[in-house]
Amino acid sequence: MNARHVWTIAKKDLRGVKSERTIVLAILLQVFIAMFSSFLVVGLTALYDPEAISEQSGGLAIGYAGAEDSPLAGLLHEPGGFVVYRIDLSEAVAALKERQISAVVYVPDTPPDAEEPVKVTLYTIKNDIQGAAASAGLKDAFEAYEKDLRDVRADRLTMVPVEVAMPESDGGQTFFLFAYGLLIPLLLFLPAIISASLVIDFITEEYGAQTLDTLLSTPVTFVECFWGKVFAAWILVPIQAGAWLLLLAANGIFIENALAVLVLVSAAALALILLGGVTALHYRERTAAQFVYSTALVAVILAALAIPGNPGHLLVLLSAGAAGAWEYMMVVASVLGTVVLAALAGRYAKAMETRTRR
């Protein structure tokens, strides 16, 4: 196999990538995610765990209306907390609508030892990041105020409450789990999935446009043509993955073992690309090949996730700096498995070359 012929085919297909709008848009979307990953982590984490952004609530302005002598007012004025403005409820709600403050707390004049409950009302803007941060930050003050009320009304209890000892959380884990457990695998494995779909277009395009015979009339062989297209799709993966690692680091999300991560991602990408390439050689028609590949991809991903040392798990451990000797051995095994798969794909391409000549 002539490496120059392989590179010639790869260059031809790489030039055509710019005309593939779907691929370009997918790459631009990944660039956007990687460039603004720190903001996305904050925003998306707040959707399912508002408590994760409670540390961001310090210094936010809130309005306080209602009882002047309520203990809750003192809790809100604690150092390092909120900037509290005592204003009328109507003025506070108007300021909230204009986003001059992040939340409004209204406390009625109900005495702590009254018979009726103390109904504290919190006003925030729906689907607002600052409102979510304020709500999460106010939770501690509300719980402390609730404890004070319970202490004042403790003599009303007819039964002794059962205390439940809950383990304390270390905190700060949500961002770590979201960034290293979801964001990084998504950014690094998505180029592999896209490139595998891209190689199908490269191969089936030659059959659809009936240009394969023209290519084979040159010194380029069928196998060299196959590997040129595989290389064109594969080379995009380490380039994109390396760029994503740099952009993530620029956003304060640092990746340990960057070289091992790139090796693992590149090996997994080549395996998927070979799967797509063999599918394209077999069906020769874009729609059928893409459908079969997409269906097989789901099965492959589900089967891989069922394995304890799957690439996704290895990627998380490597990027977080928690990998040991076993994980590095699994990376080597992944590379060797990809080499075996490449040999099988090469044999299949050789068989297809023989069938084409007939």
pLDDT tens for residues 73-126?
888 877 656 788 888 889 989 988 888 888 899 998 888 888 888 899 999 887
CA 102 to chain centre: 28
Residue 170 pLDDT class (50, 70, 90 cuts): low
pLDDT of residue 42: 52
**C-alpha–C-alpha distance, residues 93 and 96, integer Å:** 5
pLDDT of residue 339: 92
Percentage with pLDDT > 70 across the chain: 82
Kindly state the tokens that stand for 186: 């998504």
Q: Residues 189-231: pLDDT tens digits?
A: 888 888 888 888 888 888 877 777 777 777 888 888 888 888 9
Partner residues linked to 213 by β-bridges: none
pLDDT of residue 139: 83
Q: Residues 267-323: pLDDT tens digits?
A: 989 999 999 888 888 888 888 888 888 888 888 888 877 777 778 888 888 888 888
pLDDT of residue 169: 56
**C-alpha–C-alpha distance, residues 292 and 175, integer Å:** 37
Mean pLDDT of 132-153: 83
pLDDT of residue 204: 86
Domain ranges of the chain: 3-35+173-357, 50-156
**C-alpha–C-alpha distance, residues 134 and 59, integer Å:** 10
Query: Any idea which fold 50-156 has?
Result: D-Maltodextrin-Binding Protein; domain 2 (3.40.190)
Percentage with pLDDT > 90 across the chain: 5
Q: For strand 121-123 and strand 103-107, is the pairing parallel, antiparallel, or unpaired?
A: antiparallel
pLDDT of residue 50: 52
pLDDT of residue 40: 55
pLDDT of residue 26: 64
pLDDT of residue 45: 53
pLDDT of residue 80: 59
Q: Does residue 51 carry a pLDDT above 70?
A: no
Rounded-to-10 torsion of CA 133, 139, 140, 146: 160
SS3 104: strand
CA 331 to chain centre: 22
DSSP state of 159: S
pLDDT of residue 12: 81
Mean pLDDT, the chain, as a whole number? 79
Q: What sign for the dihedral angle of Cα 303, 305, 311, 314? A: negative
Residue 336 pLDDT class (50, 70, 90 cuts): very high
57 versus 245: the higher-pLDDT residue is 245
Kindly state the tokens that stand for 141: 């003050």
129 versus 71: the higher-pLDDT residue is 71
Out of 7-11, 18-22, 161-165, 225-229, which region has the weakest mean confidence (pLDDT)?
A: 18-22
